Amino acid sequence: MSTELLLQQLSERNSEPIELNQPMELAQLATPALVLDRGLMLDNMRKMATHVQDHNKSFRPHSKTHKCPTIAHMQIEQGAVGVCAAKLSEAAVMLAAGVESILLTSPLATVQKAQGLNALLQQHPDHKLHLVVDSKEGMEVLRQSIDADQQLGLLVDIDLSMGRTGTRDVETMLWLIDAMARDQRFNFAGIQHYAGHLMHIPDYAKRKDKSLASWSRLDDFFSALEGRGIHCDIVTGGGTGTYDVDVAVDRITDLQVGSYIFMDEEYRVLASAGDDRFEDFALALTVACSTISQPQAKTITVDGGYKAFASDSVNPVCDELPGVEFRFAGDEHGVLILGEGQQEVKLGQVHRFAVPHCDPTVNLHDFYWVLEEDGLIHSCWPITGRGCSW
């Protein structure tokens, strides 16, 4: 019952951009506000599309990064074969907004979730939905829950070292594929292998070596498939941190890149192939904060804290204030540590900060305030998938 109620609520969420009656300047925003530079985001999209095409690959970007059907449609317009969704609720939001080609990258292992998936299949007969499976138990749940007249493409999720989802057993993979072959509702579509723990290795050479080694360790799985004459239409994985590495893997058909459209500080502090900073893609996403208090000369307080920024490791960074350090000061506030000669930071100013981690930061906000080339905000886009954690 709870799944049905939640799916109904998700289908009613607005996903259409809202045009403002008058364009706004950044200083007019009610801060903290999530600001999206549309031109820079489009540049990032086009760069990734050109990159994968030049290597005869495709890309299947992760919608968990942006949670916004408007952006998903833009990615598909730029050549993406579809989008990924981490959770059933994210997929529901995308389907309701007309995004039909979706790979659900987390396995379902409860009857409640599988019945929710079945309801989505019924509601969206033109879907091109795929799901990963990694266990006999998960396969049995799908058998119990999916209607006889439905069709669902399944990928076997393989894990070798991350320890999050996926099977590490060749025999389990073959058992799952055999089970699909015996059931007309399911067809074997391919393999997922995601090594997310490698995406943020600081040293580029080490990140590259470990990612290529991770893919090479799948040889036993692919040898077993080849021995059975089984073809994989899809071999998907990788991410922004290894976008220029994994295209060298012959077996890969598409990359599950996510953060490339926005970038964040956790990525920017990494080394890239040619620099000690990972700035292959432009910083398109920031949080605008206002300076609100100055209890002492060398610090000034802004109105953005843990409720405006999500951080796994690093703090927000203000590119327009080099040398100014941000420190979290609770849920609602951050404190800027001012150095010598930085007293030009005054009360009542609005400054934009690179977010520590874009995916969970986006999940804290209701809208993107979309910045156009004229330096003004003309629209806001609903973050329709906010809170879709199930």
Domain range annotation of the chain: 2-10+38-261
CB 313 within 8 A of CB 266: yes
What is the DSSP secondary-structure string of 54-123? Answer: HTT-EE--BTTTT--HHHHHHHHHTT-S-EEESSHHHHHHHHHTT--EEEE-S---SHHHHHHHHHHHHH
CATH code of domain 2-10+38-261: 3.20.20.10
| Span 293-301, average pLDDT | 94
Can you give the pTM of this predicted structure?
0.96
How does pLDDT run across 227-273, given as a tens digit for each residue?
Answer: 999 999 999 999 999 999 999 999 999 999 999 999 999 999 999 99
pLDDT over 90, % of the chain: 94
CB 130 within 8 A of CB 234: yes
| Span 325-338, average pLDDT | 97
How does pLDDT run across 358-380, given as a tens digit for each residue?
Answer: 999 999 999 999 999 999 999 99
